[in-house]
Amino acid sequence: MRDFYGVTLDTPLMLGTAQYPSPAIMAAAFRASGASVATVSLRREGGQGQAFGALIRDLGVRILPNTAGCYSAREAITTAHMARELFGTNWIKLEVIGHADTLQPDPFGLLDAATVLIAEGFEVFPYTTEDQVLAQRLLEAGCRVLMPWGAPIGSGLGLNNRYGLKTLRAAFPDVPMVVDAGLGMPSHAAEAMEMGFDAVLLNTAVAQAGDPVAMARGFALAAQAGALAHAADPMAPRDMAAPSTPVIGKAWL
């Protein structure tokens, strides 16, 4: 697997920590998923204090704090500072939301916040769209990872713009990329990995499933299957049928 700021993850699955029916179910879902990274929203989870922080650390995975719910660069920067102090990591999933209904990233605020945080030593994972111009600007600012959305957060719609995601992946082949947000089914994760993305990040699809533990396991298997398929150099689609059984040696009557 490709490394993320010098860290090679054991599995291509990143999992969120919000909205689970209970802390025990969350912990069980993480065990079933084999996730390498837990994302934590300071604005939503921080109010639970040290007990929640201890619970997250007990998961035994790498922590990726995020700035979910921030609608300005200034707000996101302040939240990132709090996250670094609380969790002792320079990793930050940077979200600057620009639209309340779609939760689409604000490209201008995102770039401004990323520029400031990178100068302050943060290792930024920017939640972005599939826009190649914005991707280039984020890379020029010092981001070494991109996290394009699959669909609006919590929608479960899967990969809304497959063409955009494919062209983004092809445009920056050496940049680690994570499809983040909107994945609703394990098949969505498999498809993202088959496109050549390096990991997937999701939360709602597991946390709000009827059986979060079983769904977490399903996503784990799907992400691994997609990664294996991409590495295996799959066949290209054909417009016409091609026989899989050779006709050489066939008896002609």
- Is residue 150 part of an annotated ligand binding site? no
Beta bridge partners of 37: 14, 62
Residue 26 sits in which domain range?
7-232
Q: In which band, very low, low, confident or very high, does the pLDDT at 40 lie, cut at 50, 70 and 90?
A: very high
- Domain assignment present for residue 237? The answer is no
- Is residue 210 part of an annotated ligand binding site? no
- Is residue 90 part of an annotated ligand binding site? no
Active-site annotation holds for 166: no
Beta bridge partners of 14: 37, 201
Residues 118, 142: Cα–Cα separation, whole Å: 6
Beta bridge partners of 126: 94
- Is residue 121 part of an annotated ligand binding site? no
**Overall number of domains in the chain:** 1
Q: What is the pLDDT of residues 119-141, one digit of tens each?
A: 999 999 999 999 999 999 999 99
Percent of the chain with pLDDT over 90: 79
- Domain assignment present for residue 252? The answer is no
Q: What is the mean pLDDT of residues 184-207?
A: 97
- Domain assignment present for residue 247? The answer is no
At residue 144's C-alpha, the angle toward residues 141 and 146, to 5°, is 95
Top-confidence residue, 232 or 60: 232
Residues 32, 214: Cα–Cα separation, whole Å: 7
pLDDT recorded at residue 208: 95
- Domain assignment present for residue 100? The answer is yes
**What beta strand segments (E) does 42-90 contain?**
62-66
Q: What is the pLDDT of residues 68-91, one digit of tens each?
A: 999 999 999 999 999 999 889 999
Set 93, 169, 188, 217: catalytic member: 93
Its pTM stands at 0.90
pLDDT over threshold 80, residue 49 = no
Q: Which residues contact 151 (CB under 8 A, 6 or more apart)?
A: 157, 158, 159, 160, 181, 182, 183
- Domain assignment present for residue 240? The answer is no
Token pair listed for 42: 């300071």
- Domain assignment present for residue 172? The answer is yes
pLDDT recorded at residue 245: 75
Q: What is the pLDDT of residues 200-251, one digit of tens each?
A: 999 999 999 999 999 999 999 999 999 999 999 998 888 888 878 776 666 6
- Domain assignment present for residue 33? The answer is yes
9-13, 94-98, 139-143, 238-242: which range is least confident on average? 238-242
- Is residue 203 part of an annotated ligand binding site? yes
Residues 91, 84: Cα–Cα separation, whole Å: 8
Are the CB atoms for 34 and 217 separated by under 8 Å? no
Q: Which residues contact 13 (CB under 8 A, 6 or more apart)?
A: 33, 34, 35, 36, 37, 189, 199, 200, 219, 220, 223
- Domain assignment present for residue 162? The answer is yes
5-19, 37-51, 152-166, 202-216: which range is least confident on average? 37-51
For the domain that residue 190 is a member of, what is the CATH number? 3.20.20.70
Q: In which band, very low, low, confident or very high, does the pLDDT at 60 lie, cut at 50, 70 and 90?
A: confident
pLDDT over threshold 90, residue 199 = yes
